[in-house]
Structure 1
Amino acid sequence: MPHNRLVHIVDDDEGVRRSVAFMLKLANFRTESYASGEEFLKAARTAVRGSVLLDVRMPGMNGLEVQAEMRSSGIDMPVVILTGHGEIDIAVKALRAGALHFIEKPYEKEILIAALEEANARLDRSYDRDMKASEAQLRLASLTPRERDVLNGLVEGHPNKMIAYSLGISPRTVEIHRANLMARLRVRSLSEALRVAFIADGGGDVPEAD
């Protein structure tokens, strides 16, 4: 049976909920909206399965806490996290907790829709990784030592400035390495690059560069 293209929007900002719901409707998604993590969790136990677009910063339960409760309650829905710009540490925690993608605000429409398309597609099959560890390791092997250093920093949740300081290079150089490593890994977003790293190491940290 084809997936139902349902997205559960969890965000305390009514304006965000309305604008995202309108945008997704135009992209042929159905939506349900919730003003808090608590409201979503209460409804999710009996709700139709769909993907979850989850804001990480909300009063009451934050997005990471909602994720944790979903796991402990057996609520099996793929999650896409919305984070503020530069909140790499939070994004890494969300990915480690099982989120499929994270999207930084302000988000691009095409990136958000692509992430939700993938999340909804997961509902049609078992949650096996699309990429085997061996393939991910081969992709990582294509990186230069410096690109691996930068990726290691990103996996630790460090922002560009902190990575630059620890490596003794400029933030602009870190940005260049980020762009290059994403091209070598054949990914379109930082969340996809981090997933390659996690898969290569069985869900752990990126192996140290030689």
Structure 2
Amino acid sequence: MLVAIVDDDAVVRESLLDLLEVSGYSVVTFASAADFLESSRIPEMRCLLLDISMPGMSGIDLYKELKRRNIAIPVVFMTGHAQEALINEAKRAGICLFKPFAGAELRRAIETAIEI
């Protein structure tokens, strides 16, 4: 199962990559929403781990763009310091985890997002 991580923080991307690969997931990472949108692997993706607050296109904006393009990928939003309005919007769209979170919590969120 291919999981995509979109987060502007390289340390977060790398630690999530390591955690998910050890858990048996195939993982691709992107430093920005724009990089993600250029990927040819989007049709393969089963879940998207998406940072809410990023420079340029935010995670919420990327989610809206995917909806506009009729691309249905289950999303788990992640945040460490987003504004309350963005957090509420993310929660309405799906699952939202607050950094830092435990590996078991992340794995449960991914499985739940895929089931929805």
Aligned to 2:99: 105
1:6 aligns with 2:2: yes
Alpha-carbon distance in 2 for matches of 1:104, 1:88: 12
Q: Is the 8 A contact 1:82 1:104 kept in 2?
A: yes
Deviation at 1:85, TM superposition (A): 5.0
Alpha-carbon distance in 2 for matches of 1:44, 1:78: 17
Q: For the aligned residues, what is the CA RMSD?
A: 1.9
Name the CA shift for 1:27/1:36 in 2 (closer, same or farther; >3 Å).
Answer: same
Q: How many residues align?
A: 116
> 1:1-210, aligned counterparts within 5 Å?
5-43=1-39, 46-85=42-81, 87-96=83-92, 98=93, 100-122=94-116
Deviation at 1:35, TM superposition (A): 0.8
Q: Is the 8 A contact 2:52 2:82 kept in 1?
A: no
Alpha-carbon distance in 1 for matches of 2:63, 2:82: 20
Name the CA shift for 1:54/1:69 in 2 (closer, same or farther; >3 Å).
Answer: same
Q: Is the 8 A contact 1:44 1:75 kept in 2?
A: no
Greater fraction of residues in helix: 1
Greater fraction of residues in strand: 2
Which protein shows a greater Rg? Answer: 1
Deviation at 1:44, TM superposition (A): 5.9
Deviation at 1:113, TM superposition (A): 1.1
Deviation at 1:119, TM superposition (A): 2.0
Alpha-carbon distance in 2 for matches of 1:102, 1:46: 21
Give the percent of matched residue pairs that are identical in Structure 1 and Structure 2: 34
Alpha-carbon distance in 2 for matches of 1:95, 1:45: 26
Q: Tell me, which stretches of 5 or more residues in structure 1 are unaligned?
A: 123-210
Could you state the TM-score of these two structures normalised by the residue count of structure 2?
0.89
Alpha-carbon distance in 2 for matches of 1:101, 1:89: 15
Q: Tell me, which stretches of 5 or more residues in structure 2 are unaligned?
A: none
Deviation at 1:95, TM superposition (A): 2.7
Runs (4+) of structure 1 exceeding 6 A deviation are none
Deviation at 1:121, TM superposition (A): 3.5
